[in-house]
Amino acid sequence: MKQSKVKEYFRPESVAEALRILSGYPGAIRVIAGGTDLFTADHLDMEALLDVDKLGLAYVREEAGTLHIGAATTFAEIAKSPLIREKFTALQEAARQLADRSTRNMATIGGNVCTALPSGDAIAPLAAAGARFLTATPAGEKRYGVEDFFLGPRRTVLEKGDILTEIQIPACGAGEATAFEKMGRNSEDLAIVNVAVKVRVNADGSVAAAAVAHGAVAPTVVRSTALEQALAGKKLCEDCLDEYCQLVDQAIAPIDNIRATAAYRRECSRVLTKRALLRAYEAAGRRA
Amino acid sequence: MNKEYRALTRNLERADARDKATGAATYTSDLYLPGMLIAKLVRCPYAHARIRNIDKSEAMLPGVAAILTYEDAPRVKYSTAGYPKETIRGIATNVPMEYLEDKLLLDPVIRYQGEPAAIVVAESEDSAEEAARLLKIDYEALPHAITIEEAIDPASPDIHPGTRHNILDAAMSKGDVEKGFAEADLIFEDSFTTQPQQHCCMESSCSVAEPTPSGKITLWSTTQVPYHIRRDISEVLGIPMHKIRVIKPALGGGFGERQMVENELLCVFTALKVNRPVRMEMSREENLSFTTQRHPSKIRLKTGVKRDGRIVAYQIHVQTNAGAYTGHSPYVTKAMCTKNPYDIPNLKFDAEIVYTNLPDSGAYRGYGNPQISFARESHFDRIARELRMDPIAFRKRNLVKVGQPNPVALKSDWILESCELEQCLDQGAEAIGYYEPRRPAAGRKVYGKGFAAALHVTGTSACPDFSSATVVMNEDGTVELLIGSPDLGQGSDTAHSQICADTLGIRYEDVHVLSADTDVTSFDMGSYASRQSYVGGNAVKLAAEKVKAHVLNYAAAMTGQLTGNLDTDNGWVVRRENGRKVVPIKEVAYYAMYLSPAPMYLCESASYSSLNCPPAFAAHFAEVEVDRETGEVKVLNYVAAHDVGVAVNPRMVEGQVEGCLCQGIGLTLTEDMIYDREGRLQNRNFTDYKVPRALDMPQSKILIVDSYEPSGPFGAKSVGEMAVAPVPAAIVNAIYDACGLRMRDLPITKDKMLQALRQRQ
Amino acid sequence: MKYDISFIVNGRRAELSVAPGRTLAQLLREDLRLTGGKVACNIGDCGACTVIMNGKAVKSCLVPAMKADGADILTIEGLGQEKLHPLQEKFVELAAIQCGYCTPGLIMAAKAFLDENPAPTEEEAREAIGGNICRCTGYVKPVEAIMAAAEVLRGGRER
């Protein structure tokens, strides 16, 4: 049986109560949101679970040009949200390709982020968009940028007793667009590689700024800074992107494993980056 | 009177469809008996090891009923193939039986990673798992060999004594292949490899055994071969057969995995030891890793042809990875020789069946045919192109024809009596537009079409291959059909009901099937080799004819008419010459049991032994898209044209082809079993063992061509396995058509395809 | 420690005392003997355990039993009690069932999907069952049955 050692299950109704329980619990206690990662294995070391589903952390709203997504918002909700489609397309594209419909009804963006698999589909979009993570901790609220939050596969800056509460992302405005691409072994897979980009265009159609984030090709999500710099001021097309995207190689360090070879991940990262950039560039131009 | 089929050829509702659609159907894994204990297998972490010591002291927790080891188990060897001894003896006459029946229930020597070393039996799954963790088994790890190359190397350990250093040889031939090559204008050689493929039945292997004080043991199990299981229980555990009852409840998939005998024996052995009902269920990881899988193969083909396309010599060399035990390996490997829809005068087949420290490879839908047909149809596609010949014309130049010797048996007097492969080729080519210009490249994507032709057996093509059926007519005219053949989900119960109904002349709704219960149903070898419609169906037909004869006799007695003037149709006894109704069958049945001065129980059995093996034929056509940037191969359109004889239930036939297509696409593009150097399966769940999903399937069209097999029940042959064999080559030939690359190693993952595309640049 | 939970399943109230590590699948199959949904992989990959919880299709092998407290759950047994649901009718009629092991989960996933998307394209229907593995049918007739059921549910003519 899964979670055969779990003795207690808490469903607090406020973040303050949740923090109290987490810091006060004498044994091994884990936070659970949708459970779609946690419940895939029997965690023999786990003695208690704290469920966040009653903390009111499921919401999507925009305030003054910033999107606020509650950590317990499911991917099903994100996949349907007109606000996300309009202001953060890459995240909705990622949500629609993450696992399958039934899983998305339970899986949460907070769970995807805190599980911190390099292949987590929400992570590259959050990195490309410059997201910030809000956490509730015994020492008060803390904020992290993507670059500080992820420490390695399945490791984040969060300590036992912390809860991720909200993710904040600058909403896409005029002349800005995002896009997401994912490669799997067949139609239903975790990402062999994934890529998310954000592009802002100038009035003349040249790139004002670009952000490119890669998943599943390094211990954490990485940004293609060399490529981002090379794109500035350029007008994009498929042929020139074929060349520019060679710069992706400088940012990534893919490995061989049973899912794919490093060489394949490298090739796909380049190709998917090109495809994502083309789409975001065209969309940004339409929104100029 | 010309009788129309009432049930045959109609898309009648499956006998068990409503139960399955409502969740009412009971599968073995749904059985929870009172007082039931849970058995867990403790598995060895080494690929090759000897058990030095087992320390149960910490594991005998409260709630643990027993921990069983090889010291508790009888030392009677058996074959995981489940075949009767005569069949096993016949497969390799120069090899002693002890090397063919080579498996012990529990063995102090372990021969593959994960082989059971002990059985823990406890009140709950949790306590069984806890006890398994605390059980201390001291192993002496031994050198091992995982791949064919490693096992053949003289430095590797002798995994399977009695063989030529881990090799079992097989050879067959016809004509004189050297003479043929000498006469050939051109000779072609190609090599191919195929990978292991796991069945992934949705229901994990599960057995529930219940002993009783009277000495009777009942076993419910996810088996395809209940009668083989019963016989093996009897032989290995020393129990007389009348004290053994094997039942196959609703079954969540077979595909050949459930033709393997092992888990059932372990469960019964355990139940008898603890004298309580025992449930033994594999987790998905166990089922993927430690049951059985399709034989990986290395195939070398050499073909000699005349410039006009006639094949004059054909030579096959095969190596298969048999795993640690013999099981099905000699049969599967040798079966590759005769899976040939061509008339080839000179043929030579050599095989090396190689033992390794892996779970034994076994029966999987197609039984060697998908491997060899992949190789052959890719090879022939190349030959045709090099001869500048239309690949379809090349096949037609060499197809076997009605009246010629049946190609599935090299040395027999069987004559082919039905073959519509040419129709399949023509209709399939038309439906997919094989001769139309190809779709032009779109961006970085290219398009192509390919096809493959194949045949498959209908029954085992070896004697004995027999089935039997019992037909019972109740006094209200309804019928119980009691047949041993297990319905795995392929619909054999339904097909048999249709055959029974039309033979007897009653309505399909008035037949109820009870199958696969060894205490109640008639004997059957089991559901494999696509035998049920033909061998089982013929037995059903014979039994139904016997009951029909009684019905006509009693009707004659009732009405004063002559039996010779009577027939049955749609629940009535009718006049033979014009179909006019005489008396309802239900009245005849009632008369026979209650009113006649000579009453009888209207129950008859019949056996049918197949002295023939009329092959099914198929031609498959695929259209693919190859993404030259990512290596993705998408099958866009697919046409499968089949000669099944007469289709007993056309929608069920289509369902078989569609299911085979899905498994075939998995075999071709994404499925693989990846072992590490220690023989441990790395991709042991559905996250990493990639079976096709709904979006991975093409638009498909199934064509059932007109055909009739004189020896089949109402003209039927088979379809259950046929449709896997042509899939890989159809796709591979389409890939070649699209981008000029001939892929020779399955699976063609995106990774592999991209590598090939890049290497060419 | 056991927790008392209370929920609605197939329209009837259930009250159970559960160990907190259990899954909803175990609750349904072992405690309530609703064995229609199956556990075929236990890690949420295959969808055979799919049920509808609070109107949404979920993989019950991944749902902690504790989340059932206060929930409204529909399983295959609750779908066609007096009369088969059009999905069940079409699966039967169009021969979309072979071994049947994936069928309950597939039908529940399809029902939840059609509840939200009553007029899908074939591609959308395929995508909707992307989380369900079927090893027997190749998905062809199940998708056909889903499209046919959708038409019936929209008030279209019976095929």
Residue B177 forms part of a structural domain: no
Residues B50-86 have pLDDT tens digits of: 999 999 999 999 999 999 999 999 999 999 999 999 8
Which of B266, B290, B314 is the last residue before a domain boundary? B290
Query: In the block, which residue shows the tokens 């042991």?
Result: B684
What is this model's ipTM? 0.97
What was the pLDDT predicted at B625? 98
Does the distance separating the beta carbons of B692 and A264 come in below 8 Å? no
Judgement on whether residues B599 and B685 belong to the same structural domain of the protein: no
> Would you list the DSSP string of B170-216?
EEEEES-HHHHHHH-SEEEEEEEEE-------SSPPEEEEEE-TTS-
What was the pLDDT predicted at B1? 47
Residues of A in Cβ contact (< 8 Å) with C127: 101
What was the pLDDT predicted at B99? 87
C113 touches chain A (CB under 8 A): yes
Contact yes or no for B241/B231 (Cβ under 8 A): yes
Listed range (B76-90, B106-120, B261-275) with the worst mean pLDDT: B76-90
* Residue closest to B746 by CA, chosen among B728, B730, B734: B728
The DSSP bridge pattern shows strands A60-63 and A132-137 to be unpaired
> CATH fold of C86-153, please?
DNA polymerase; domain 1 (1.10.150)
Residue B167 forms part of a structural domain: no
What beta strand segments (E) does chain A contain? 8-10, 29-32, 48-51, 60-63, 66-70, 132-137, 140-145, 150-152, 155-156, 163-170, 176-183, 193-201, 207-215, 222-223
Contact yes or no for B326/B363 (Cβ under 8 A): no
- Mean pLDDT value across chain B: 96
- Nearest CB to A105: which of C23, C56, C66? C56
Q: How confident is the model at residue B96 (pLDDT cuts 50, 70, 90)?
A: confident
- Burial (Cβ within 10 Å: 0-12, 13-18, ≥19) of residue B474: middle
Rounded to 10 deg, the angle between the B727-739 and B369-386 helix axes is 30
Residues of B in Cβ contact (< 8 Å) with A267: 629-630, 754, 758
- Nearest CB to B749: which of A185, A187, A188? A185
Rounded to two decimals, the pTM is 0.97
* Residue closest to A133 by CA, chosen among A145, A121, A123: A145
- The whole-angstrom separation of Cα B612 and Cα B458 is 9
**Mean pLDDT, residues B559-578:** 96
Architecture of domain C3-78: Roll (3.10)
Question: Which amino acid is located at B225 in the chain?
Answer: V
Does the distance separating the beta carbons of C135 and B659 come in below 8 Å? yes
Q: Which chains touch C (3 or more CB pairs under 8 A)?
A: A, B
Question: Which amino acid is located at C134 in the chain?
Answer: C
Selected residue of C30, C62, C117, C132 to mutate for chain A interface (largest A Cβ count, 10 A): C62
Q: Residue B340: which CATH number?
A: 3.30.365.10
Query: In the block, which residue shows the tokens 């064509």?
Result: B703
Selected residue of C7, C66, C107, C123 to mutate for chain A interface (largest A Cβ count, 10 A): C66
Residue B178 forms part of a structural domain: no
Residues B299-322 have pLDDT tens digits of: 999 999 999 999 999 999 999 999
Q: How confident is the model at residue B461 (pLDDT cuts 50, 70, 90)?
A: confident
Listed range (A68-82, B1-15, B224-238, B740-754) with the worst mean pLDDT: B1-15
Residue B542 forms part of a structural domain: yes
Residues B402-431 have pLDDT tens digits of: 999 999 988 888 999 999 999 999 999 999
- The whole-angstrom separation of Cα A91 and Cα A131 is 11
Q: C-alpha distances in angstroms, B312 versus A239, B176, B186, B739? A: 51, 10, 10, 31
- Nearest CB to B688: which of A187, A259, A271? A259
B565 touches chain C (CB under 8 A): no
Judgement on whether residues B571 and B593 belong to the same structural domain of the protein: yes
Domain that holds residue B516: 17-24+464-609
Judgement on whether residues B442 and B471 belong to the same structural domain of the protein: no
Rounded to the nearest angstrom, the minimum Cα separation between B370 and chain C is: 17
Judgement on whether residues B265 and B354 belong to the same structural domain of the protein: no
Listed range (B36-45, B156-165, B261-270) with the worst mean pLDDT: B156-165
Judgement on whether residues B676 and B719 belong to the same structural domain of the protein: yes
Judgement on whether residues B451 and B517 belong to the same structural domain of the protein: no
- The whole-angstrom separation of Cα C132 and Cα B84 is 38
Judgement on whether residues B338 and B354 belong to the same structural domain of the protein: yes
Q: Would you give per-residue pLDDT tens digits along chain A (288 residues)?
A: 788 899 999 999 999 999 999 999 999 999 999 999 999 988 989 999 999 999 999 999 999 999 999 999 999 999 999 999 999 999 999 999 999 999 999 999 999 999 999 999 999 999 999 999 999 999 999 999 999 999 999 999 999 899 999 999 999 999 999 999 999 999 999 999 999 999 999 999 999 999 999 999 999 999 999 999 999 999 999 999 999 999 999 999 999 999 999 999 999 999 999 999 999 999 999 998
What was the pLDDT predicted at B2? 54
What was the pLDDT predicted at C158? 52
Residues of A in Cβ contact (< 8 Å) with B636: none
- Nearest CB to A103: which of C19, C23, C59? C59
Which of B290, B318, B346 is the last residue before a domain boundary? B290
Domain boundaries, chain C: 3-78, 86-153
Q: Residue B282: which CATH number?
A: 3.90.1170.50
Query: In the block, which residue shows the tokens 């896009």?
Result: A179
Residue B581, number of CB atoms within 10 A of its CB: 12
Which of B248, B270, B290 is the last residue before a domain boundary? B290
Selected residue of B195, B690, B761 to mutate for chain A interface (largest A Cβ count, 10 A): B690
Judgement on whether residues B590 and B629 belong to the same structural domain of the protein: no
The count of structural domains within chain B is 3
Which parts of chain C register pLDDT below 50?
Answer: 159
Residue B433 forms part of a structural domain: yes
Rounded to the nearest angstrom, the minimum Cα separation between A9 and chain C is: 6
- Nearest CB to A51: which of C1, C23, C66? C66
Name the residue in chain C with its Cα closest to that of B688: C45
Does the distance separating the beta carbons of C44 and A36 come in below 8 Å? yes
Judgement on whether residues B487 and B616 belong to the same structural domain of the protein: no
- Nearest CB to C57: which of A4, A41, A102? A102
What was the pLDDT predicted at A4? 85
B686 touches chain A (CB under 8 A): no
First to last CA, chain B: 70
Residue B429 forms part of a structural domain: yes
Asked if pLDDT for residue B132 goes beyond 60, the answer is yes
Does the distance separating the beta carbons of A102 and C64 come in below 8 Å? no
Residue C156, number of CB atoms within 10 A of its CB: 11
Residues B467-526 have pLDDT tens digits of: 999 999 999 999 999 999 999 999 999 999 999 999 999 999 999 999 999 999 999 999
**Mean pLDDT, residues B641-653:** 97
Tokens describing residue B351: 């095989």
Residues of C in Cβ contact (< 8 Å) with B282: none
